């Protein structure tokens, strides 16, 4: 193996070590409610409760959908739109829409 091949392999390896999935976490403040998700790990958390582990969880490039409880009569569904950065809470009483602001992580 010549020196340039070894150097290229080391650079690629260092790049992958630096790409931790934690670096892909996104956090938002939705009018007082904290939302956190990670597309790579398919993780979704609202107000400290992980919804990605619940039944009926759905995530694609635009939308994240989850339920707070599984009782169909009293279930509160959460929909987060990644493009518009809006969260929608829907239950038997109605629909609440909240605008979200991305929280920038301190890299220090």
pLDDT at 17: 46
For residues 59 and 65, the answer to whether their CB atoms sit within 8 Å is yes
pLDDT at 7: 61
**Pairwise CA distance, residues 39 & 29, whole Å:** 18
* pTM confidence score: 0.74
For residues 92 and 74, the answer to whether their CB atoms sit within 8 Å is yes
Nearest alpha-carbon partner for 49 in 36, 30, 31: 36
H or E element in which residue 34 lies: strand 33-38
**Pairwise CA distance, residues 24 & 40, whole Å:** 7
pLDDT at 97: 97
**Pairwise CA distance, residues 53 & 83, whole Å:** 23
10-residue mean pLDDT profile of the chain (108 residues): values are 63 50 83 94 94 91 88 83 96 94 79
Helix residue spans in 1-108 (DSSP H): 3-18
pLDDT at 71: 67
For residues 67 and 73, the answer to whether their CB atoms sit within 8 Å is no
């Amino acid at each position: 193996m010549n020196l340039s091949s070894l150097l290229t392999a080391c650079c690629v390896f260092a790049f992958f070590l630096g790409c931790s999935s934690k670096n892909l976490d996104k956090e938002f403040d939705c009018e007082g409610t904290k939302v956190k998700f990670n597309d790579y790990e398919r993780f979704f958390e609202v107000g400290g409760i992980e919804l990605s582990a619940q039944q009926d969880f759905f995530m694609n490039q635009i939308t994240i959908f989850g339920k707070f409880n599984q009782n169909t009569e009293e279930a509160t569904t959460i929909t987060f739109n990644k493009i518009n950065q809006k969260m929608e809470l829907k239950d038997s009483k109605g629909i609440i829409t909240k605008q979200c602001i991305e929280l920038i992580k301190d890299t220090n």
